[in-house]
Amino acid sequence: MKADTSGVLTGVHFMDGDHAACEGALAAGCRFVAGYPITPSTEVVERFAARIPKVGGVFIQMEDEIASSIAIQGAAWGGKKVMSVTSGPGLSLMMEHIGFAVCTETPSVWVDVQRCGPSTGLPTQPAQQDMQQVKWGSHGDYEIIALSPNSPQECFDLMITAFNLSETYRCPVFFMMDEVVGHMTERVVIPPADQIEITPRKFTTKAPSEFVLYATTQDDLVPEMVKAGDGYRIHTTGLTHDERGYPVMTVAVQQKMMTRLIDKIRNNVHKLVDVRTDNCDGADVVVVSYGITSRIAHAALDEARAKGLKVGHARLVICWPFPEALFREMASGVKAFVFPEINMGQMVRELNRAVAGKAKVVSVPHTGGTVHEPEVILNAIMEAAR
Amino acid sequence: MAKTEIRIGGLGGQGVILCASIIGKAASIFEGKHATLIQAFGPEARGSACSAQVSVSDSVIGYPYVTSLDMLAVMSQDAFNLFAPTIKPNGILLYEEELVKLNDRLPDSVRRYSIPATRFAEELGRRLVLNIVMVGFFAGVTKLCSFEAFRSAAMDSVPKGTEDLNLKALQKGYDYGVNYSQQP
């Protein structure tokens, strides 16, 4: 279906990434945000709070991130598309409820404008240090989806993708920005509503007497949903539950539920690959990057190519699930991968796992607070090309 | 056009970010170029030294930061002291002449243009429009974009009801800049 015109600010804007992310959410149909504003993500909710009364929806500033991360899930079960917005310290507080969203299959978008940690760290300065936390921070096994924009335009465009994916897979989708992308201002083109494709919630058409909350088929592991107030008697819980949503404390039910929750993502990993490649065919070295670092890598790539090196660039737009198969295949054709990240080497672990020794993998870590010097990435490329 | 790298410097509250935003908007929305604005974010944006970086280019901008400064516009002595040494050879300095005194931090080859922007703003009725006078001056001296683009960007950026005053401020700075750069 097409976007609802009331949330779409069609036009050409000069806008920062935080504001563009908010506009993306509004265009995607997000009508409920609960948050506890935190630098450098504050402008996302600040704008949402200002815009939502005219669009029609609710923003609540909650007492903390724990409350925010569960309030959105209540609203999702009330039928709304929902989002919470935070940065590192807030994300840490949300961990328990991320697991709840996974277990209850609550469509939700979680924006993390990353700043330096650990702890309160450098609040106003960039990092990419939460990349593994969103995948593993909540207890238990689970699969989630995470996207990483590198410009205000992508904060708008990919936010719509994020909401659509959260409806398709009924799982938390993380929007992994960073302080630079959040506060960088560039041209943002917002198309007319009829050019924005929106994935509607998969509401059931079954009668209340026939509807089973978590019933799925072999072909489609994502159950249908209902919304509170429509006359369906439902029960949803973070406890291990059967198809009806009722707690059942058995190994068999745990196995069945867990397998489906994992498989609904893992069986579709091939559909969840978004890697933007540039000159990777025939390259000796491929630079892998995501978010703001992909733009910093550009400067190094230009320099390296000017020196005659055959260097490709593979930019992760979807970081989770990690596109293992793509890199496993690419590994047989290249000498080395160079992976700069504004952390001490997080997603490079996944790359190492995928490449499994078939090519050299060079991590270019950064402790955070700013972006890499392009020369540092260039030196790593030159070293790797030897 | 290769990438043009610009920095605006002053004190928090002077409208440094708005100044940079109007330049970026003029280029990227009203003249079809690419522009990236990176602003100081933190305590410095709220009272002490404040600055913003704008890159303008005909092609997509990858690396977003200023590395080789083509143009510096400053509205405070601190900003001048900090950033003047970073202007590249034959680059351009624009400065508010009552707030900034040149010193030996400025490389010799830099072309310099001064304006009594605060006085002009006061003559127009509000000292607050100092930054818009500076944008006009920047437009007149650098001709980075057409005056039309700067005017549209400024009108799109200032609060409703202040358009007339801001337009006068922009025009004042622009005319001064054009005349200045036509002097031998």
Query: What would the pLDDT profile of B51-62 be if each residue is shown by its tens digit?
Result: 999 999 999 999
**pLDDT number for residue B12:** 85
A380 CB burial (10 A radius; 0-12, 13-18, 19+): buried
Residues in chain B: 184
The domain limits of chain A are 5-195, 275-385
- Residues of chain B with Cβ-Cβ distance to A40 below 8 Å are 41
Whether residues B62 and A12 touch (CB distance < 8 A) is answered with no
Nearest CA to A321 out of A101, A107, A129, A143 is that of A143
On chain A, the residues whose CB falls within 8 A of the CB of B33 are none
Fold of A5-195: Rossmann fold (3.40.50)
- Give the per-residue pLDDT at B13: 86
Q: Burial code of A243-265, b = ≥16 C-beta within 10 A, e = fewer?
A: bebeeeeeeebeebbeebbeebb
Q: What is the pLDDT of residue B47?
A: 61
Sequence letter at residue A205: T
pLDDT band at B44 (very low <50, low <70, confident <90, very high): low
- Whether B29 and A179 lie within 8 Å, measured CB to CB: no
User: Which of A14, A183, A295 lies at the smallest CB-CB distance from B62?
Assistant: A295
Range of the domain at B70: 4-100+107-182
pLDDT of A34 over the 60 cut: yes
How many domains are contained in chain B?
1
User: Which residues in chain A touch residue B24, judged by CB atoms under 8 angstroms apart?
Assistant: 14, 185-186
Of chain A residues 175-214, which have a CB less than 8 A from chain B?
A: 179-180, 183-187
pLDDT of residue B182 exceeding 90: no
| CATH code of the domain containing B10 | 3.40.920.10
- Whether A371 and chain B come into contact, CB under 8 Å, resolves to yes
Interface list for B 96-125 with A (CB within 8 A): none
Q: Would an 8 Å CB–CB cutoff place A81 in contact with chain B?
A: no
Contact B35 A186 (CB under 8 A): yes
* CB A147, CB A317: distance < 8 Å: yes
- Note whether A128 and A290 are within 8 A (CB): yes
Answer whether A66's CB lies under 8 Å from A86's CB. no
For range A269-286, the mean pLDDT: 97
Q: In this predicted structure, what is the pLDDT of residue B112?
A: 96
pLDDT confidence band for A385 (50 / 70 / 90): very high
The answer to whether residues A211 and A224 touch, using CB atoms and an 8 Å cutoff, is yes
Contact status of B184 with chain A (Cβ, < 8 Å): no
What would the CATH number be for the domain defined by A275-385? 3.40.50.920
| Distant-in-sequence, close-in-space partners of A381: CB < 8 Å, separation ≥ 6 | A285, A287, A300, A301, A304, A309, A311, A338
> A5-195 with A275-385: one CATH topology?
yes
B:141-160 residues touching chain A, CB 8 A cutoff = 153
Q: Which helix (H) or strand (E) holds A265?
A: helix A251-266
Mean of pLDDT values over A66-79:
98
For chain A, strand residue ranges (E) read 11-16, 30-35, 58-61, 81-86, 108-116, 122-126, 145-147, 172-178, 184-190, 275-278, 285-289, 311-316, 318-320, 336-340, 360-364
B contacts of A185 (beta carbons < 8 Å): 21, 24, 36-39
Mean pLDDT of chain A: 97
Whole-number pLDDT of residue A375:
96
* pLDDT > 80? residue A281: yes
Question: Encoding tokens for residue A109?
Answer: 């978008």
Q: What is the mean pLDDT of residues A325-336?
A: 97
Please write the tens of the pLDDT for every residue from B142-178.
999 999 999 999 999 999 999 999 999 999 999 999 9
Please give the Cα distance from B100 to B116 (Å, whole number). Answer: 10
Whole-angstrom CA distances from A209 to A3, A77, A227, A244 are: 32, 19, 15, 12
Cα angle A225-A229-A235, degrees, rounded to a multiple of 5: 55
pLDDT digits (tens, 9 = 90+) for B79-128: 999 999 999 999 999 999 999 999 999 999 999 999 999 999 999 999 99
The sheet with strand A285-289 has its strands ordered as A275-278, A311-316, A285-289, A336-340, A360-364
Looking at residue B41, its pLDDT comes to: 67
- Tell whether the model's pLDDT for residue B40 goes beyond 90: no
Sign of CA dihedral B33, B13, A23, A85: positive
Interchain pair B62, A299: CB under 8 A: yes
Tokens coding A218: 């072999």
Contact between residue B53 and residue A183 where contact means Cβ atoms under 8 Å apart? no
- Of A12, A124, A184, Cβ closest to residue B38: A184
In this predicted structure, what is the pLDDT of residue A35? 97
Pair A184, A151: CB distance under 8 Å: yes
Residue type, A194: D
- Interface A:B, Cβ pairs < 8 A: 53
Residues in A closer than 8 angstroms to B38, CB to CB, are: 180, 183-185
Per the CB < 8 A criterion, the answer to whether B139 and B113 are in contact is no
A187 and B21 within 8 Å at the Cβ level: the answer is no
pLDDT value at residue A246? 98
pLDDT score at B42: 63
Model's pTM, two decimal places? 0.96
List of chain A residues whose C-beta atoms are within 8 Å of the C-beta of residue B60: none
B45 band by pLDDT with thresholds 50, 70 and 90: low
Alpha-carbon gap: B182 to the closest alpha carbon of chain A (Å): 32
Identify the residue among A9, A13, A14 best suited for mutation to test binding to B, counting B beta carbons within 10 A and taking the highest: A14
Cα distances from A242 to residues A86, A169, A213, A237, in angstroms, run: 33, 19, 9, 10
Residue of B nearest to A13 (CA): B29
DSSP string, B13-59: TS-HHHHHHHHHHHHHTSS--EEEEEE--SGGGGTSEEEEEEEEESS
Torsion (CA) B137, B140, B143, B146 in degrees, nearest 10? 100
* pLDDT tens, residue by residue, B1-34: 589 999 999 998 899 999 999 999 999 999 999 9
pLDDT value at residue B49: 79
pLDDT tens digits for range A157-178: 999 999 999 999 999 999 999 9
**In the beta sheet, which residues pair with residue A33?**
A59, A83
**Rounded to 5 degrees, what angle do the CA atoms A341, A344, A349 make?**
80
A:302-361 residues touching chain B, CB 8 A cutoff: 302
